[in-house]
């Protein structure tokens, strides 16, 4: 029985092997992309409405060891309060699709180098469906955000309002680099990596080992870059 666009979103989470085989025969992307953008936008708007920008700005700069004069600090806070929501909406509507398109292109080139057979549209479809754990994360975040009167630095420094990564257990004196590393060891990130390995192995027609090497390798590069940038900014 052919899966609908929404059916594939559920199927990739419950029976990924079967769903990615269907994607190999007929790639789809529109529904998955709209769901990822829409949920990210909803959660982002909800979080922006509860952010204490003054606390977040002051404590994030303190964590990096940056000292900013009070008049400049007030200007930074004022800018974030005024333009933060617009930047978040613009990032969701424009930045998110751009990142997914770039990643799909990178994976296509990578798996062709590994001897696979992969076009851009199948790569894009696998990527978006492999990202469905992010949609689960967004859905689970909604009741948590609604339960909060305010979101400050402590709630946001782990990259998630859920306790889903090791940064939640970091010592109080942990530096930005360590926080970035621990926040990358996340339940939903690992779930996404596993789905992408299954998906690209099936659609690109490469072994699971080759798919794992490609996906985990790129994820490791991302983590190293994230940790490096955090450490440099501290």
pLDDT digits (tens, 9 = 90+) for 68-94: 777 777 888 888 777 777 887 888 889
CB atoms within 10 A of CB 192: 21
Distant-in-sequence, close-in-space partners of 177: CB < 8 Å, separation ≥ 6: 227, 228, 230, 231, 234
Instruction: Match 């996404």 to its residue by tokens.
Output: 192
pTM of the model: 0.87
Among 214, 39, 45, CA closest to 127? 214
Return the higher-pLDDT residue of 109 and 87: 109
Of 1-5, 49-53, 83-87, 223-227, the one with minimum mean pLDDT is 1-5
Mean pLDDT throughout 34-43? 94
pLDDT over 60 (residue 1): no
Looking at mean pLDDT, say which of 44-53, 160-169, 218-227 comes out highest: 218-227
Return the higher-pLDDT residue of 57 and 10: 10
pLDDT in tens, 179-216: 888 888 999 999 999 999 999 999 999 999 999 999 99
Return the higher-pLDDT residue of 19 and 47: 19
pLDDT over 60 (residue 2): no
pLDDT at residue number 79? 83
What rounded mean pLDDT belongs to the chain? 88
Mean pLDDT throughout 19-25? 95
Sequence ranges of the domains in the chain: 5-232
Per-residue three-class SS string for the chain: CCCCHHHHHHHHHHCHHHHHHHHHHCCCCHHHHHHHHHHHHHHHHHHHCCECHHHHHHHHHHHCCCCCCHHHHHHHHHHHHHHHHHHHHHHHHHHHHHHHHHHHHHHHHHHHHCCCCCCHHHHHHHHHHHCHHHHHHHHHHHHHHHHCCCECHHHHCCCCCCCCEHHHHCCCCCCHHHHHHHHHCEHHHHHHHHHHHHHHHHHCCCCHHHHHHHHHHHHHHHHHHHHHHHHHCC
Mean pLDDT throughout 92-120? 94
pLDDT over 70 (residue 233): no
Return the higher-pLDDT residue of 122 and 63: 122
For residue 56 the two structure tokens come to: 């977040």
131 neighbors 99 (Cβ within 8 angstroms): no
pLDDT at residue number 56? 77
């Amino acid at each position: 029985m052919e899966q609908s666009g929404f059916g594939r979103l559920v199927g990739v989470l419950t029976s990924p092997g079967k769903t990615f085989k269907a994607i190999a025969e007929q790639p789809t992307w529109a529904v998955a992309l709209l769901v990822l953008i829409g949920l990210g936008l909803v959660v982002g708007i909800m979080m922006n409405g509860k952010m204490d920008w003054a606390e977040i700005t002051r404590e994030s700069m303190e964590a990096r060891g940056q000292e900013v004069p009070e008049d400049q600090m007030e200007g930074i806070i004022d800018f974030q309060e005024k333009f933060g929501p617009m930047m978040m909406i613009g990032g969701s509507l424009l930045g998110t699709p751009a990142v997914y398109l770039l990643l799909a292109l990178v994976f296509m080139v990578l798996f062709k180098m590994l001897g696979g057979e992969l076009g851009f549209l199948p790569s894009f479809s696998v990527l978006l469906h492999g990202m469905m754990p992010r949609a689960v994360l967004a859905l689970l975040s909604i009741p948590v955000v609604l339960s909060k009167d305010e979101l400050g630095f402590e709630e946001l420094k782990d990259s998630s309002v859920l306790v889903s990564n090791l940064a939640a257990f970091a010592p109080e004196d942990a530096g930005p680099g360590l926080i970035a590393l621990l926040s990358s060891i996340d339940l939903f990130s690992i779930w996404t990596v596993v789905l992408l390995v299954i998906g690209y192995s099936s659609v690109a027609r490469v072994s699971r080992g080759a798919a794992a090497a490609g996906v985990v390798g790129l994820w490791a590069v991302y983590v190293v870059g994230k940790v490096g940038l955090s450490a440099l900014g501290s």
